[in-house]
């Protein structure tokens, strides 16, 4: 039986264990990815490790271990149940061409059983079933190795071939699944991987939180029609880690072996801690204890008192822990990019606190507890304590001054409208249509600081929907107008810095596509940096570009500029974006909509009148005819396999 341990103790135990096994402990990277413009946040442990998985030598050697801070913005709306958080730590151990399946599985088993003292009868393991079309065979080795390790403990377990149909039968503890479950790459299943992307089969580890099925979790879940199995997602079996055997690279429709066989292990620290402490509610972990006390004290309500209270407390705990770390990594609340997420999280926490009856300053006190809990592992939190607290205080009080008024305004919008005809004293009640218009939602944002999802949530609680399309259009129009306004301020009609940056942003899309056209589709964006004076673009490519190639890229771009192609933004589902051939890394596994910018009228990649289609947050010019002449001023290597271009618009 496992004994209770704090989350900090488990992290330390993991890192020490791998150190004992020859690994070097490396610190967590920042939550803001370095040299990777494709995602706003670091969302998995492997993200900072991609170059090393592809073969670049890691400066600290072939075997390393870490605990990586992660933030998944796409999970904001999942928070509220007992296991989703936006911020989490991912424990990782890495072999860059050193040990492989046998070494990893044995080390991991010993860690779970001997160090954490988890009960083997509550553990389940899954392995890749294989795919003939891809030419990748079933991972018998891993399955049989887990089985052997059970046997060494005197436990006979068998392997399930078809858990999705048969459920768990007899003494099965190991199961085969297809690529939807047991294949890992940043972009998901093999079919969705772009050229050159690394990936491989994986072996996942699950913990059974309800072995006697006392809580009847499955029966109460939306999956109750099916038989329960480790991957059925009902909440009884929770994934606590994933051993990825990262050994392939996508080439055409097939896979080639990478130069080395890698291991990428990632395990959610909080979930492992929940398993060790045998409590499936992540928000019952020790790291939330002090923060929870504050919420209970200030609201005079108990955690778990009822569903609504529990939900609100979980949202607040999650969001304030996330912003403590995000501000610690230098992202303050604001209106753009990463900063807007911080703003949304704080405002959402404040609005849920109102539901708990907390109407006084509280975010600062809660953040203090997180700084205290994590400061030994994450020293920057202590160094940034004052900044974190003062940014929270500012953002909270700014929002609080308009929150009450905004809620009143919201009630007015959604309440029954009473019409009093002039000629009579009779009052007629007309129920308000069930939609909040885009104008109303935009006004709630502009005048009361309500991020769209706050409006959406309030609307949902009242069974009303929001016209998001109109809202987005107005927001876009507004930001175009404010850009024009700022341009107008410059004497002689010269564009301001913001406008130049926007132009370079659009030019970056042109460059990305032009490089792919000239050098081939293996070119993938690795980074981008824009100033009002120039653009800088890093991309995966092995050789120095020739003068002819550079000239071709310039000519191609300038030809498009001469055609004055329009730039069109659309918000579409990830599936549609992929189907239409948009560029960009689809790391957002769970998100719903993405913005896609097209340059040219055509809709899909390959259409004659479409030059580029790319996932992006903007902003962009409306028509590329205004860009001027594109010129490459430098082309150089940044690291092995990565080139850098600096270019200007003249
Ligand atoms: N790459 C895997 C994941 O993020 C394991 O680290 O889940």
**Closest Cα to atom 2, ligand 1: which residue?**
266
Report CA(321)–ligand 1 centroid distance (Å).
22
- Which is nearest to 332 in space by CA: 249, 416, 410, 389? 389
Distance 272 CA to ligand 1 centre (A): 15
Closest protein CA for atom 1 of ligand 1: 46
User: What kind and span of H or E run contains 347?
Assistant: helix 337-355
- DSSP string of 73-111? GGGGGGBTBSS--SEEEEEEEEEESSS-HHHHHHHHHHI
Ligand 1 probe mutation, 64, 90, 187, most atoms within 8 A of CB: 90
Residue 589 confidence (pLDDT): 38
Distance between start and end Cα atoms, the chain: 70
Asked whether 45 lines ligand 1 (CB < 6 A), one says yes
Residue nearest to atom 6 of ligand 1 (CA): 266
Residue 185 in contact with ligand 1 by CB distance below 6 A = no
| The dihedral sign for the CA sequence 86, 305, 240, 215 | negative
Any idea which residue has 């890691």 for tokens? 58
Match 């592809």 to its residue by tokens: 54
Tens-digit pLDDT profile for residues 14-54: 999 999 999 999 999 999 987 666 688 999 898 888 889 98
How far, in Å, from the CA of 605 to the mean position of ligand 1? 30
For ligand 1, the distance from its centroid to the CA atom of residue 422, given in whole angstroms, is 67
Residues counted in the chain: 650
Q: How much distance in Å is there from the Cα of 267 to the middle of ligand 1? A: 7
Residue from 128, 264, 267 whose mutation best tests the ligand 1 pocket (most atoms within 8 A of CB) = 264
CA atoms within 13 A on the CB side of 163: 26
The model's pTM is 0.72
Which one, of 468, 473, 464, lies nearest residue 451 by Cα? 468
Is the beta carbon of 243 within 6 A of some atom in ligand 1?
no
Cβ neighbours around 521 below 10 Å, total:
13
User: Residue 41: CB partners within 8 Å, gap ≥ 6?
Assistant: 31, 32, 33, 70, 71, 72, 73, 338, 341
Cα 24 to ligand 1 centre (Å): 19
Residue 305: CB atoms within 10 A of its CB come to 12
Distance 46 CA to ligand 1 centre (A): 6
The finding on whether 264 has its CB within 6 A of some atom of ligand 1 is: yes
Which residues make Cβ contacts (< 8 Å) with residue 283, sequence separation at least 6?
A: 82, 292, 303, 313, 314, 317, 318
DSSP 431: P
Strands 172-177 and 183-185: unpaired
| Ligand 1 centroid from CA 243, angstroms | 8
Tokens describing residue 144: 């049989």
- Would you state the pLDDT for residue 485? 45
Determine if ligand 1 sits within 6 Å of the CB of residue 403: no
Using alpha carbons only, how large is the chain's radius of gyration in Å?
A: 27
Pairing outcome for strands 123-128 and 172-177: parallel
Probe residue for ligand 1, chosen from 39, 95, 242, 585 as the CB with the greatest number of ligand atoms within 8 Å:
242
**535 and 528 in contact (C-beta within 8 Å)?**
yes
Question: Which atom of ligand 1 is nearest the CA belonging to 244?
Answer: 5
**Strand pairing report for 254-268 and 87-96:** antiparallel
pLDDT digits (tens, 9 = 90+) for 301-358: 999 889 999 999 999 999 999 999 999 999 999 988 899 999 999 999 999 999 999 9
Long-range contacts of 427-433 (CB under 8 A, 24+ apart): 432/464
- State how far the Cα of 507 lies from the Cα of 533, in Å rounded to an integer: 13
In this structure, which residue's CA is closest to atom 5 in ligand 1?
266
CA distance linking residue 419 with residue 105, whole number of Å: 71
Tell me, using a 6 A CB cutoff, whether residue 200 lines ligand 1: no
**Nearest-CA residue for atom 7 of ligand 1:** 266
* DSSP classification of residue 116: S
Mean pLDDT, each 10-residue run in order, the chain (650 residues) = 89 98 95 79 88 89 96 88 93 97 98 98 98 92 98 98 92 97 92 91 96 78 79 89 96 91 97 96 97 97 93 98 97 91 95 94 98 97 97 95 88 67 52 77 88 87 86 82 47 46 90 94 82 86 91 95 88 81 60 76 86 82 90 86 90
46 lines ligand 1 (CB under 6 A): yes
CA 249 to ligand 1 centroid distance, Å: 16
Q: Is 199 in the pocket of ligand 1 (CB under 6 A)?
A: no
């Amino acid at each position: 039986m496992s004994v209770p341990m704090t989350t900090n103790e488990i992290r330390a135990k993991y890192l020490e264990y791998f150190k004992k096994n020859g690994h070097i402990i490396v610190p967590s990277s920042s939550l803001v990815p370095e040299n990777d413009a494709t995602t706003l946040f670091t969302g998995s442990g492997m993200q900072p490790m991609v170059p090393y998985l592809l073969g670049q030598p890691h400066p600290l050697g072939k075997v390393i271990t870490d605990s990586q801070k992660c933030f998944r913005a796409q999970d904001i709306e999942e928070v509220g149940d007992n296991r989703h958080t936006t911020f989490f730590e991912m424990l990782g151990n890495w072999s860059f061409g050193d040990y492989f399946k046998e070494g990893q599985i044995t080390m991991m088993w010993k860690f779970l059983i001997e160090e954490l003292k988890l009960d083997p009868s509550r553990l389940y393991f899954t392995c890749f079933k294989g795919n003939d079309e891809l030419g990748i065979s079933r991972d018998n080795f891993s399955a049989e190795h887990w089985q052997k390790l059970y046997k060494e403990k005197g436990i006979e377990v068998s392997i399930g071939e078809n858990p999705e149909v048969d459920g768990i039968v007899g003494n099965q503890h190991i199961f085969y699944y297809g690529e939807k479950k047991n294949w890992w790459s940043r972009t998901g299943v093999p079919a969705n991987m772009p050229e050159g992307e690394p990936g491989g089969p994986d072996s996942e580890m699950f913990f059974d939180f309800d072995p006697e099925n006392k809580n009847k979790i499955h029966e109460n879940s939306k999956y109750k029609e099916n038989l329960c199995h480790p991957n059925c997602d009902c909440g009884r079996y929770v994934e606590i880690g994933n051993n990825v055997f990262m050994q392939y690279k996508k080439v055409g429709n097939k896979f080639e072996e990478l130069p080395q066989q890698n291991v990428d292990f990632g395990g959610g620290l909080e979930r492992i801690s929940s398993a060790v402490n045998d409590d499936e509610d992540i928000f019952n972990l020790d790291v939330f204890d002090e923060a929870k006390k504050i919420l209970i004290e200030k609201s005079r309500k108990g955690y778990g008192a009822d569903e609504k209270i529990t939900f609100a407390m979980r949202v607040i705990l999650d969001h304030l822990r996330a912003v403590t770390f995000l501000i610690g990594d230098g992202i303050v609340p604001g209106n753009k990019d990463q900063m807007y997420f911080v703003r949304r999280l704080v405002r959402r926490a404040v609005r849920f606190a109102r539901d708990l009856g907390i109407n006084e300053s509280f975010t600062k006190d809660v953040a203090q507890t997180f700084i205290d809990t994590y400061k030994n592992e994450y020293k920057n939190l202590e160094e940034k304590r004052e900044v974190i607290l003062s940014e929270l205080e500012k953002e909270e009080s700014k929002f609080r001054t308009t929150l009450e008024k905004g809620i009143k305004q919201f009630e007015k919008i959604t309440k029954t409208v009473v019409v009093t005809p002039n000629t009579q004293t009779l009052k007629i009640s007309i129920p308000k249509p069930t939609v909040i218009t885009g104008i109303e939602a935009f006004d709630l944002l502009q005048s009361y600081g309500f991020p769209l999802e706050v409006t959406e949530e309030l609307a949902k609680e009242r069974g009303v929907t929001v016209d998001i399309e109109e809202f987005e259009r107005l927001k876009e129009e507004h930001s175009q107008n404010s850009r024009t306004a700022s341009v107008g301020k410059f004497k002689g009609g010269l564009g301001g810095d913001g406008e130049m940056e926007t132009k370079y942003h659009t030019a970056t899309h042109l460059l990305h596509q032009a490089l792919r056209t000239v050098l081939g589709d293996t070119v993938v964006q690795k980074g981008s940096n824009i100033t009002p004076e120039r653009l800088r673009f890093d991309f995966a490519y092995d050789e120095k570009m020739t003068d002819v190639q550079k000239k071709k890229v310039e000519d191609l771009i300038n030809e498009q500029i001469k055609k004055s192609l329009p730039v069109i933004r659309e918000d579409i589902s990830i599936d549609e974006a992929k189907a239409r051939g948009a560029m960009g890394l689809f790391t957002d596994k769970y998100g719903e909509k993405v913005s896609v910018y097209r340059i040219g009228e055509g809709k899909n990649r390959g259409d004659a009148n479409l030059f580029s289609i790319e996932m992006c947050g903007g902003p962009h010019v409306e028509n590329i005819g205004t860009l001027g002449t594109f010129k490459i001023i430098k082309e150089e290597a940044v690291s092995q396999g990565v080139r850098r271009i600096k270019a200007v618009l003249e």
